[in-house]
Structure 1
Amino acid sequence: MSASSQASAQKVLVFDFGAQYGQLIARRVRDLHVYSEIVPCDITAEEVREMSPSAIILSGGPASVNAEDAPLVDPAIYELGVPVLGFCYGHQITAVTLGGTVFHPEVGEYGPATLHVEGGALFEGTPTDQTVWMSHFDAVRDVPEGFTVAASTDVCPVAAMENAEKRIYTTQFHPEVKHTEFGQQILSNFLFNVCKLEKNWSMDNLVETMTAEFREKVGEDRVILALSGGVDSSVVAALGARAIGKQMTCVFVNHGLLRKGEPEQVEEVFTKQFDVDFIHVHAEDRYAELLAGVTEPEQKRRIIGTQFWKEFFAVAQQLETDGKPVKYLAQGTIYPDIIESGARKTGGKASTIKSHHNLIPFPDGVSFDLIEPLDHFFKDEVRELGLALGLPAHIVYRQPFPGPGLAIRIIGAVDKEKLEILKNADAIVREELDAYNERLFEETGERNSEHSCWQYFAVLPDIKSVGVMGDERTYLRPIILRAVESSDAMTADWAKLPYEVLGKISSRIVAEVPGANRVCYDITPKPPSTIEWE
């Protein structure tokens, strides 16, 4: 069943031509309280008619419309009487499909550009000159019959065009990105002025829809979930609990490398608040033995990852032995995971950025059907969904945390003493910066990850430093504080924390953490560094 089938009587279909921004378009529509979803670009007009959309948006894409293998659109789409909005490739494919021409100018256009508006419904309430975000080399030269030019730039003669009679509007620029000054107003004009839609969709609608979908897909079968305690897997667990209850088994593999208090918090939430079959695997001693003396970061990662799946599949096989066969494996894969791997479910047109980190090494003879209910959503949408599902704030707003846990925040070999030092120091860092972020939220009324701390933690280097405590010299470990501002983790800047906050963190760590006598602050942005140290 499509998510839209229950979400709302009105919906916007976003045709995916492989744009890195494709899902962002659907997101921007949802931000305006209208339901939207992604469909493949090669969907037929008849299939679209059966879905009864209120509007269609054609995404951008990396291809050239003049290439032999360029993605096409069914021309009959434009004859359905459904309003159409196209961006970038969607602008160009509309032009060539309906009889216009696209050429390859001498100069491309990338980044901010000044748009000169000549009129049209999309630009109502916006200035004549405005900043938009361009990313193209091809450009429309001749508009199709019935179209007029609505805007241009100094480089692009047809930066926007429209056929008001058929309600077809396209732009060469990207209204969906925040760099386009009035992008959300342009989208709003299309949805509410052109399409006459209503703001009738909310996260509560989504909870009901996703619950019904989950229940319908699973039926009477069983589901297993690797519950890390992070936001994504916790939201899937909460959704599964709501949909199918104890048909879902949540396997929490405790490798002993989590932050202070986290195993207890996870167990309490998923045994007392949600009705699922919860299994806590205490693997701390096995991991400690495997990691003893290992200093190379990638070797740590391999050991931790390999052992995790051994622990997880041992539980899955035990369930089979106990007469509880499992058909589905649920995962907390979110949309950035999909887009960065190029493993798109909506046509597979995107360029690959990096290997998908959620690939699973199934042992011989073991396989599951996958359920990935979050794969159309961004991290902040997942957090909002978690709140709507009743997850506590301390899980919903939990810091991003690497799968190998504290093992890669301890430089060098991992042992019990180092883990204890780092867990205690990190707990102070999180407590103080949680409070700092909360103060910013109270002052501004918004949780803006680009102005508050997005991620913050402690690192334990493999060195010791001299210090003085009381009348005695000490030779103990320094703690490195890492705190960054970011919106997507692709780039990050070090957080400009007030001196009094830094001072309090430092004094508390030195006073309260046995084995630490110094605190350093990492002020390197990403790039050139990474957020994590290993």
Structure 2
Amino acid sequence: MLENNIEKVLILDFGSQYAQLIARRVRENHVYSEIVSHLITAEQIKKIKPKGIILSGGPASVYSKNAPGCDEEIMKLGVPVLGICYGMQLGCMMLGSKVSPSAAREYGRTLCAISGENRFLKTLPQEITVWMSHGDIVTELPAEFESLAHTKNCPYTAVKHKNRDFYGVQFHPEVTHTPNGSQIIRNFLYEICHCSGNWKMDSFIEKSVNDINRQVGNGRVVCGLSGGVDSAVTAALIHKAIGNRLSCIFVDNGLLRNFEAEEVVKTFKENFSADLHVVRAQDRFLGKLKGVSDPEKKRKIIGHEFIKVFKNEAQKISDVQFLAQGTLYPDVIESIPAHGGPTVTIKSHHNVGGLPEELGFELVEPLRFLFKDEVRKIGEELGLPKELVGRHPFPGPGLAIRIIGEISGQRLEVLRKADKIVIEEICKAGLYNKIAQCFAVLLPLSTVGVMGDERSYENVIAVRAVETTDFMTADWYRIPNETLGSISHRIINEVKGVNRVVYDISTKPPSTIEWE
């Protein structure tokens, strides 16, 4: 939690797949937001002094025996509260309303009619399209409530309490499928919570530098460098704060893309004056991964081996007390049940809780509460080169999780060549900066083909490209057929051992961006 004069909005998580999107939409309106457990108490909230509270959606029914709830004293704090879907039903029920199963469930886009004028739905047309995802609805409202909107199957689609600053919407304003959703959230922030919008990147940089100096003092920091934007921005922030008391370690684990290790070293030397240590450990990592196919085992092996290699090199640097990591908010959210909430772990991240206490270092994580696009903005503010700031994300475990199944030197070589072609072709088509992430995946199967006059039985490459701003949700990118054709043609003709290329057209959710 940021402990300063920045305005905050808390999002109580009841297990919604969209909780992270709510946080992003709030931040897009220049108000800092953070997801907290639905178990947080009113007393804890008092100490945080938020400008507003949002109750997220969730998969449960509010009237079920074990349905997640919240401290009812929250409604008496005098802090404006917005309930979304499950959050609306819970808030309404706590204030005397009745919630029941809907006679007709609503999923997807629905027309919603707004009744009259009010601050919460200010500037919206009388009829809007909203995204519904519910099986329960508020069926009875006490006299203290006012209905603000309705749909064909939901009489109380938006409501407000007449005597408290409680507002509720049955639909999801945080998703892009609700075109006016951002305006609704903005109305809540500025018309109801009276926020001033002081969440800016330059103020974050100043605050972060002060925090680093306060934490580190006269100590020395070692930072794990990968060449990606997260670790680069982390290093730049810390370097701005403590200068030459920063040392960076780059571990070449043998799971990088073509010439990536050389590019990382070159980029670092051109943009930083800090101490750099390069460790070549390809054989060590590949030896540990031999015969391993399970993706979680791969991640854990790579994470544990990285710790050993990193620790060994860090011990060669004198007087180190602190370890810096480029941990982002989505890493934290996806790696653990959401702040004690009802959601589940999606996958483990190598840089979240993966460094044991035996390292003896205190963690410095200046980006821990930021999303990817916010990190890019900070990189720009710090003057990092555009090609580094705009670089597509690359996972910590590297190509190990883009090779489905067992890893070998031969399979790595096939994937490296295919991935290089994918990136070259999207750059040639002018698409690199329009796509958030694009890469090749080597599948654990072979298919029949005909090459020349002979039958072949060779590998399949999948191409993945997505568009997203926060990497918590993503849609597949519509690469033009001509470019897809060039990618396929080149891979099949130039990469020995591949006779088929497929394109991944799944969204997140339900899929993740990476295949493992």
TM-score, with normalisation over the residues of structure 2? 0.80
Q: 1:333 aligns with which of 319, 327, 348?
A: 327
Amino acid aligned to 1:351: T
Q: Which residue of 2 aligns with 1:388?
A: 381
Q: Which residue of 1 aligns with 2:463?
A: 482
**SS of structure 1 residue aligned to 2:266:** helix
Q: 2:80 aligns with which of 76, 83, 96?
A: 83
- For the 8 Å contact 1:399–1:456, the answer to whether it is kept is no
- For the 8 Å contact 2:13–2:36, the answer to whether it is kept is yes
Please list, as runs of the form range in 1=range in 2, the aligned pairs for 1:176-325 lying within 5 A after superposition: 176-287=174-285, 296=293, 304-319=302-317, 322=318, 324-325=319-320
In 2, Cα distance between the equivalents of 1:408 and 1:21?
Answer: 25
Q: Percent identity?
A: 40
Write the deviation string for residues 206-240 of structure 1: whole angstroms up to 9, x where unpaired.
Answer: 22223333333333444443322233333323332
Q: Which residue of 1 aligns with 2:125?
A: 127
How big is the shift at 1:363?
6.4
Amino acid aligned to 1:37: E
**SS of structure 1 residue aligned to 2:429:** helix
1:86/1:305 Cα in 2 relative to 1: closer, same or farther (>3 Å)?
A: closer
Determine whether 1:343 maps to 2:337. Answer: yes
Write the deviation string for residues 97-155 of structure 1: whole angstroms up to 9, x where unpaired.
Answer: 33333334455444333323223332233233322223334432333443211122333
1:285/1:48 Cα in 2 relative to 1: closer, same or farther (>3 Å)?
A: closer
| Larger strand fraction of residues | 2
Write the deviation string for residues 133-184 of structure 1: whole angstroms up to 9, x where unpaired.
Answer: 2333443233344321112233333221113564432212221122223111
Amino acid aligned to 1:21: Y
In 2, Cα distance between the equivalents of 1:134 and 1:484?
Answer: 27
Q: Which residue of 2 aligns with 1:59?
A: 56
Q: Which residue of 1 aligns with 2:4?
A: 5
- For the 8 Å contact 2:37–2:341, the answer to whether it is kept is no
In 2, Cα distance between the equivalents of 1:390 and 1:428?
Answer: 30
1:352/1:407 Cα in 2 relative to 1: closer, same or farther (>3 Å)?
A: closer
1:380/1:138 Cα in 2 relative to 1: closer, same or farther (>3 Å)?
A: same
1:479/1:212 Cα in 2 relative to 1: closer, same or farther (>3 Å)?
A: same
- For the 8 Å contact 1:4–1:11, the answer to whether it is kept is no
Q: Which residue of 2 aligns with 1:172?
A: 170
How big is the shift at 1:248?
3.9
In 1, Cα distance between the equivalents of 2:356 and 2:198?
Answer: 46
Q: 1:26 aligns with which of 18, 23, 26?
A: 23
In 1, Cα distance between the equivalents of 2:49 and 2:357?
Answer: 44
1:233/1:344 Cα in 2 relative to 1: closer, same or farther (>3 Å)?
A: farther
Determine whether 1:405 maps to 2:403. Answer: no
In 2, Cα distance between the equivalents of 1:136 and 1:269?
Answer: 49
- For the 8 Å contact 2:173–2:180, the answer to whether it is kept is yes
1:256/1:38 Cα in 2 relative to 1: closer, same or farther (>3 Å)?
A: closer
- For the 8 Å contact 1:192–1:198, the answer to whether it is kept is yes
Q: Which residue of 1 aligns with 2:144?
A: 146
**SS of structure 2 residue aligned to 1:131:** strand
How big is the shift at 1:357?
2.8
In 1, Cα distance between the equivalents of 2:39 and 2:303?
Answer: 38
**SS of structure 2 residue aligned to 1:23:** helix
How big is the shift at 1:436?
2.3
Determine whether 1:155 maps to 2:153. Answer: yes
Q: Which residue of 1 aligns with 2:482?
A: 499
Determine whether 1:374 maps to 2:373. Answer: no
Q: Which residue of 2 aligns with 1:444?
A: none
Amino acid aligned to 1:118: S
Amino acid aligned to 1:227: L
1:61/1:209 Cα in 2 relative to 1: closer, same or farther (>3 Å)?
A: farther
Write the deviation string for residues 60-89 of structure 1: whole angstroms up to 9, x where unpaired.
Answer: 344544446632234364452x43322223
Please list, as runs of the form range in 1=range in 2, the aligned pairs for 1:414-433 lying within 5 A after superposition: 414-415=408-409, 423=416, 426-433=419-426
The alignment of Structure 1 onto Structure 2 pairs a total of residues equal to: 506
How big is the shift at 1:32?
1.7
- For the 8 Å contact 2:10–2:53, the answer to whether it is kept is yes
In 2, Cα distance between the equivalents of 1:29 and 1:311?
Answer: 40
- For the 8 Å contact 1:428–1:509, the answer to whether it is kept is no
In 2, Cα distance between the equivalents of 1:107 and 1:149?
Answer: 20
RMSD, matched Cα: 4.1
How big is the shift at 1:333?
3.0
1:19/1:374 Cα in 2 relative to 1: closer, same or farther (>3 Å)?
A: farther
In 1, Cα distance between the equivalents of 2:157 and 2:511?
Answer: 38
1:330/1:110 Cα in 2 relative to 1: closer, same or farther (>3 Å)?
A: farther
**SS of structure 1 residue aligned to 2:89:** helix
- For the 8 Å contact 1:221–1:247, the answer to whether it is kept is yes
Amino acid aligned to 1:391: L
1:143/1:249 Cα in 2 relative to 1: closer, same or farther (>3 Å)?
A: farther
- For the 8 Å contact 1:34–1:200, the answer to whether it is kept is yes
In 2, Cα distance between the equivalents of 1:476 and 1:70?
Answer: 52
TM-score, with normalisation over the residues of structure 1? 0.78
How big is the shift at 1:311?
0.9
Determine whether 1:14 maps to 2:11. Answer: yes
- For the 8 Å contact 1:233–1:331, the answer to whether it is kept is yes
Determine whether 1:101 maps to 2:81. Answer: no
- For the 8 Å contact 1:409–1:532, the answer to whether it is kept is yes
- For the 8 Å contact 2:132–2:172, the answer to whether it is kept is yes
Q: 2:34 aligns with which of 9, 34, 37?
A: 37
